Amino acid sequence: DAGVTQSPTHLIKTRGQQVTLRCSPKSGHDTVSWYQQALGQGPQFIFQYYEEEERQRGNFPDRFSGHQFPNYSSELNVNALLLGDSALYLCASSPEPTGWAYEQYFGPGTRLTVT
């Protein structure tokens, strides 16, 4: 049973460029969340997708956008990259929560460096 997979593993981009990161959820999971983790910080919630729609969004600018496909995989797009966007981008999947407590499974992340 494959866990959450992300691609690419590492990426180097220049300021002003655009980037697309990809995520495939764990088998049986239909919800995908994206997090940004800067060095020395905890992950920060970007947004969550469920049924191909953005269900909840964190405090990130519109330069950050996403998409979920019918097979539940997801993309994170970042436009007009800034140096401060350099971080580890984590994708997490989960089944639709049936109660208050549920686990999100994280992928290995994509390390983005903006120069």
Site for other proteins, rule CB under 8 A: 31, 33, 35, 40-45, 48, 50, 55-56, 58, 90, 92, 97, 100-104, 106-109
Six-digit token string for 56: 């909840």
Taking the CA of residue 25 as centre, how many other CA atoms within 13 Å lie in the half-sphere pointing to its CB?
25
Going from the C-alpha of 4 to that of each of 17, 19, 55, 82, the distances in angstroms are: 27, 20, 20, 27
Least separation in angstroms between residue 37's CB and other proteins is 8
| Residue 79 phi, psi dihedral angles, 5° rounding | -100, 160
Between 46 and 81, CB nearer to other proteins: 46
Between 45 and 86, CB nearer to other proteins: 45
Between 16 and 96, CB nearer to other proteins: 96
Query: What amino acid occupies position 56?
Result: Q
Least separation in angstroms between residue 16's CB and other proteins is 27
